[in-house]
Structure 1
Amino acid sequence: MSRTSARSSRDASDLYRAVWRWHFYAGLIAIPFLILLAVTGGLYLFKDEIDQWLNADIVRVEAQSSTAVSPQQQLDAAVAAHPGEAFRYVPPAASNLAAEVDITTADGKQAVYVDPYTGEVTGTIPYQGSVMWIVRTIHSLNYFGETASLIIEIVGGWSILLVLTGIYLWWPRGRRGGVISVRATPSKRMFWRDLHAVTGIFVGGFILFLAITGMPWSTVWGSKVNELANGHNFGYPDGVRVNVPVSDERLAERETTTWSLEQARLPESTPGREGAPGIGLNGAVAEFDELGLAPGYGVNLPSGPTGVYTGSIYPDDLSRQRVVHLDRYSGEPLLDMNYADYGPLGKSLEWGINVHMGQQYGLANQLVLALACAGIVLLCVSSGVMWWKRRPSGKLGIPPEPKDPRRLRGVLALLAIGGVIFPLVGGSMIVMAVVDALVRRRGARRAATTA
C-alpha cells in the first residue's frame, strides 16, 4: 500500500471514529426520550378513537329524529348539575354524540356532557383531563413542568444529529450485508447491528420530519419563530387586518389553539344601549352555523361586558380550519380567518404540525406514522442490545477516539451550524464537547500511566 493510500485510509478511519463517537453521544441523550415520544405519540395519533371508546357511555348518545333542545338549555342543564361558571360550549359534531359544556366549578374545571335531544347530563370528565390529553402532556413533557418542556427542543436537535451521523455510518462503502438485509441470528451482535442499521435507514426520514415539525412547540426556538411569523398585527398572521378594538386577552388563554394563533388577541364587543341582552348562546350558535363552521367547532363564551363569542374549529383538514369572533351584542363577525389567511411560514409549519399529529391525510396518515413510531422503538431497543453486546465489562463503551483529534474538531464545526440555529441544542453540545474532552484526557492519562 502506498503512503498516500495509507494516509487516505487512516483519514477515513479517523473520520468514521469521530462520527461514530458523536453518534453514540447523540443516542445516549436522545434514545430514552425517543422511546417515550414514540410510544406516547403513537397512542396520540388515535386520540379521538381511544377517548370516545374509553368514554363511550358519556360522550355517545342515541341518535334521534326529534329536534334537539336549544344550546342554552343544554348549558343550563349542565350548570344545574355541576354549579359553576360555564366558559365554553361544544355543539355535537355528529348525531350520535353529546354536547360538551365546560364549567369552572369549586372542584376545578369540568367537561360536562349533555344529551342534546333530552337535555340530560350523561356524565363528566375533568376539563383537559382525558386519558389522551394526559398522554399529550407527557409527550410534550409539560406533564412534568415548564422547565422539563425545554428538553424537547434539546432532544429534537440531538435526534437530527443522530439521524445524520447514522446515515454516514450506514453508508455501504462497498458492503452488501447490513445495508438492506439483516445477517446472523439474535444471539450475535452482528444481527442487532444490522437490524439497527436497516431499521434506521427506513425510519430515519420520519425521525427527521417529526423532530423538525415538533420544533414549533419548543419553548425557546418555537416561541421566537412564532413571534417572527405572527408577532405583528396583534398576533395575527400578516395579511389579516384587525380593524376593531382588541383586548389584552389572548385566544390561547381561553383554549388550545393552533400554533399560528398562539399570540392572537381577542377583539372587543361594542356595548349597545344600556341593558341590551345581546344575541345569547342560541344566537351565536345559529350565526356560526350560518357562517358554515365545520361540525365539531367550539364556542368560547364572552368574559365580561366587552367579551366576544369565539367559534373555532381545528379539524383534520387544514382547509376547514377557522376562527370567528362575534360581537356579543350585534352578532356581527369582528374577525373571520382561516388557514388561507396564514402567511407562507405559518402555512408550512401548520401543515407540518397537522401531519405530525396524524391528521392531515386521515387513516393513512395515522397508520404510516404508527408504523414509524414502532420502527423508532425497534431502532432504540436494537441500539441498546448492540451496545450491551459490544461494551467492555464494567465500562460505558464509548467508541474509540480518532488518532488525529482534528477530525473531532471538524465534526464539531459542522455541529456548530445546527447549534446556532437551535440555541438550546448548541448549549447542550458545548457541554457534551467539554465532557468528551475530559473523557479523552482521562483516557490519555490512564494510557500514559499504563505505559
Structure 2
Amino acid sequence: MLAPNINAAAATSEDDVIAHRRTLWRWHFYAGLFVMPLLIVLAVTGTIYCFQPQIEPLLYRDRMVVADTHGERLSTDVLLAKAAASEPRGAVPTLAQIETDRTRSAEFVFRLPSGESESVYVNPYDGAVLGTLSVEHRLMKQVRELHRALLLDKTGALVMELAGCWTLVMIGTGIALWWPDRTIRRNGGVWLPRLALKGRAWWRDLHAVGGIWLAIGALFFVLSGLPWSGSWGKEFKALATSASLGYPKGAWGEAHVHSTAPGASAKAGDEHAMHGMQMKMDDLPLHQTPWAVGATTVPDSAGASASNPRIPIDDVIAIAAKNGVPDDYGIALPATPTGVYTVSYFPADPRAERTLHIDQYSGRVLSDIGYASYGRVAQWISYGTSLHMGRYFGLANQIVCAAISLGLTTLAITGFVMWMKRRPARTLGAPARPVKRPPMRAWRSALTLLGMIFPLMGATMLAVWCLDRLAFGTRRAAA
C-alpha cells in the first residue's frame, strides 16, 4: 500500500529537481545571451590594457624612449618651455608626468584651443621635442574607453555596468547548474572535462568545468570593476562616504587627513567656490586618480597677485620627494591664479597612494591624503583596483589577469557554440519553462536583493521577465 505513495513522492521530488534546473537554465541563458558579446569585449580590452606598461613604449618608442647620455637632465620648467614653444598659440599646459627612468622622455600635456588634449614628449638631456600624441585618441585611451563604455560615452557606460551586474546572475546560475549530483560525481565532468564525449556534450563539459574554475576570478573582476562604473559607482562612493567607509570628505576639518586651511584672502575671494562649486579631483587632467580621492575637493592657493610668482615645478618635485612620493606620478598644473599643484601618486601598492595639493606660490602642502586616510571600503577597493589592473605583483599579476580574461572569452565562445547546436532554426532557442513552477524562495530573494543593490539591473530583470511572458506566453515544457 505504501509503494505507490513512495513512487509518487519520488516522482514529485524528481519533477521539482527538473523544474528547478530548467528555471536556473533559463535565467542563465538570458544572462549569457546579453553578457556573451560584451564579455568578449571586456576580456580582450582588459587583457590589452593590462599590458599597457609594456605596449606603449613599443608602439611609441620614438617619442617615449631616449638614450641615456649619462649627462644632467634639464630642469623641468625648461623642458616645459621647450614643449610649449612647439605647441600652437593658445595651448595651455595642464599636466607634467614625472618619471626618473633615465631612458624615458619627459611628458607634458596641453589643452589645445580645439578643446582636445595632446601629450608632448621632450628629450630631457638636450630639450629636443620628440613628437606628440593625442590624449583622447591614443590606442590605450581608446582601449580603456572601449572597456568602460564601448566608446559610447554615458550610454555605453550604463551598458557595460549592466553587463557586469548580469555577469553575477550568470555566475550564480552557472555554479548552481554545475553543482554535481551523485550521477555526475560517478561519471566525471566535475573538475575535469570528459574529453571522450562528442558533440554538444563535449562543449557542455568544457563550458561547465571551465566556468567553475574561472568563477572566482570572474566574480572578482566584476566586484572590483563596478565601483568605477559611471552610474552605480558614483552612488556607491556617496554611500560609502556617508557611512565614513569611503574616501575622505576633503573639506578642511572634516577628514582625517593632514591638511592646512587656505589663507583668509582665498576664503574671502572665493567664498562661492567653497560652497560646493570647487573643482574635484576627477576633473583634473591626470592620467590616473585613486578611486578613494576622485570626488574630493581641490583646495585653492592663497596670495594670488601679479607680484607673487609661481614656484618652479622642480620645487614641487622636491616637495613631493620630501613627502614620500618618489617617482612615476602626475602633477596637475594650476589652471587659475588660485589653483594649486596637485601631485597624484597611483603606484602598484595601494598602501603608498598619495595625493598632495601644494600652494602654487608658497609651496605649502595644503592637503596630504594617503592610504591610511581612506575608509575601510576605499582601502579594499584600492587593493581590488591594483589587482584588477594587473599591477599589484608585477608581471605575474598581468599573466593571471590575462589568463582569466582569455578563459572568460573561451566560455563565451563555448556557450555560443552550445546555443547554436541546440537552437531550432529561426527561433531564439531559450530553454522551455517547466510545467511546474518551483518555489525557489532563496533564488528569488537573492535576485530581489541583487535588484535592490543594483537598481538599474533590477529594472532590466523585471523587463526580461515581462518580455519573456509576452513573447512566449504560458507555454511550458513537459517535465
* TM exceeding 0.5: yes
| Residue in 2 that maps onto 1:240 | 257
Do 2:250 and 2:296's aligned partners in 1 also have CA atoms closer than 8 Å? yes
| Residue in 1 that maps onto 2:282 | 252
375, 398, 402: which is aligned to 1:370? 402
1:206 aligns with 2:223: no
| Residue in 2 that maps onto 1:96 | 103
Once the two structures are TM-superposed, the CA of residue 148 in structure 1 deviates from its matched residue by: 1.6
Once the two structures are TM-superposed, the CA of residue 396 in structure 1 deviates from its matched residue by: 1.6
Once the two structures are TM-superposed, the CA of residue 188 in structure 1 deviates from its matched residue by: 0.8
CA distance in 2, matches of 1:381, 1:130: 29
Distance 1:272 1:393, change over 3 A: closer
Encode CA deviations 1:83-118: one digit per residue, 9 max, x unaligned.
Answer: 321111112341100010111223531100011111
Do 2:259 and 2:368's aligned partners in 1 also have CA atoms closer than 8 Å? no
Matched to 1:183, the amino acid is R
CA distance in 2, matches of 1:186, 1:106: 64
| Residue in 1 that maps onto 2:94 | 87
Distance 1:317 1:128, change over 3 A: farther
| Residue in 2 that maps onto 1:109 | 117
Once the two structures are TM-superposed, the CA of residue 287 in structure 1 deviates from its matched residue by: 2.1
Encode CA deviations 1:251-306: one digit per residue, 9 max, x unaligned.
Answer: 21112412111211111111167602131223222322333313111111112111
RMSD across aligned positions (CA): 2.2
Give 5+ residue unaligned stretches, structure 1.
Answer: none
Distance 1:307 1:272, change over 3 A: closer
CA distance in 2, matches of 1:406, 1:319: 49
Once the two structures are TM-superposed, the CA of residue 182 in structure 1 deviates from its matched residue by: 2.4
1:441 aligns with 2:457: no
Do 1:214 and 1:353's aligned partners in 2 also have CA atoms closer than 8 Å? yes
Do 1:251 and 1:266's aligned partners in 2 also have CA atoms closer than 8 Å? yes
6, 14, 26: which is aligned to 2:11? 6
1:69 aligns with 2:74: yes
| Residue in 2 that maps onto 1:119 | 127
Give 3-state SS (helix, strand or coil) of 1:337's partner.
strand
| Residue in 2 that maps onto 1:133 | 141
1:179 aligns with 2:171: no
Distance 1:415 1:382, change over 3 A: same
Do 1:178 and 1:193's aligned partners in 2 also have CA atoms closer than 8 Å? no
CA distance in 2, matches of 1:219, 1:92: 30
Give 3-state SS (helix, strand or coil) of 2:355's partner.
strand
Distance 1:235 1:426, change over 3 A: farther
Do 1:184 and 1:190's aligned partners in 2 also have CA atoms closer than 8 Å? no
1:27 aligns with 2:32: yes
1:261 aligns with 2:293: yes
| Residue in 2 that maps onto 1:46 | 51
Do 2:433 and 2:475's aligned partners in 1 also have CA atoms closer than 8 Å? no
CA distance in 2, matches of 1:127, 1:321: 24
Do 1:233 and 1:241's aligned partners in 2 also have CA atoms closer than 8 Å? no
Give 3-state SS (helix, strand or coil) of 2:279's partner.
strand
454, 459, 462: which is aligned to 1:422? 454
1:188 aligns with 2:199: yes
| Residue in 1 that maps onto 2:228 | 217
Give 3-state SS (helix, strand or coil) of 1:89's partner.
strand
CA distance in 2, matches of 1:146, 1:309: 30
| Residue in 2 that maps onto 1:158 | 166
Question: Where in structure 1 do 4 or more consecutive aligned residues deviate above 6 Å?
Answer: none
Matched to 1:9, the amino acid is E
CA distance in 2, matches of 1:234, 1:287: 21
Do 2:259 and 2:367's aligned partners in 1 also have CA atoms closer than 8 Å? yes
Q: Which moved more, 1:65-74 or 1:392-401?
A: 392-401
| Residue in 2 that maps onto 1:276 | 308
Encode CA deviations 1:96-147: one digit per residue, 9 max, x unaligned.
Answer: 0001011122353110001111111111101243211110000001621212
- Taking structure 2 as the reference length, the TM-score comes to 0.88
Encode CA deviations 1:322-379: one digit per residue, 9 max, x unaligned.
Answer: 1111111111111112112111011011111111111112111111111001110111
Do 1:326 and 1:335's aligned partners in 2 also have CA atoms closer than 8 Å? yes
CA distance in 1, matches of 2:226, 2:449: 17
Matched to 1:383, the amino acid is G
Distance 1:248 1:189, change over 3 A: same
Matched to 1:101, the amino acid is F
Matched to 2:297, the amino acid is R
Give 3-state SS (helix, strand or coil) of 2:41's partner.
helix
381, 389, 403: which is aligned to 1:349? 381
Do 1:58 and 1:113's aligned partners in 2 also have CA atoms closer than 8 Å? yes
Give 3-state SS (helix, strand or coil) of 1:265's partner.
coil
Do 2:343 and 2:355's aligned partners in 1 also have CA atoms closer than 8 Å? yes
Do 1:41 and 1:373's aligned partners in 2 also have CA atoms closer than 8 Å? yes
CA distance in 1, matches of 2:69, 2:36: 51
Do 1:299 and 1:309's aligned partners in 2 also have CA atoms closer than 8 Å? yes
Do 2:259 and 2:365's aligned partners in 1 also have CA atoms closer than 8 Å? no
Matched to 1:279, the amino acid is I
Distance 1:393 1:274, change over 3 A: closer
| Residue in 2 that maps onto 1:308 | 340
Give 5+ residue unaligned stretches, structure 2.
Answer: 1-5, 243-247, 263-273
Once the two structures are TM-superposed, the CA of residue 200 in structure 1 deviates from its matched residue by: 0.4
CA distance in 2, matches of 1:78, 1:147: 36
Give 3-state SS (helix, strand or coil) of 2:144's partner.
helix
413, 418, 423: which is aligned to 1:391? 423
Distance 1:394 1:123, change over 3 A: same
Do 1:230 and 1:260's aligned partners in 2 also have CA atoms closer than 8 Å? no
Matched to 2:216, the amino acid is G
Aligned length: 446
| Residue in 1 that maps onto 2:364 | 332
Give 3-state SS (helix, strand or coil) of 1:311's partner.
strand
Q: Which moved more, 1:138-147 or 1:40-49?
A: 138-147
Matched to 2:117, the amino acid is K
| Residue in 1 that maps onto 2:267 | none
323, 331, 356: which is aligned to 1:291? 323
Percent identity among equivalent residues?
35
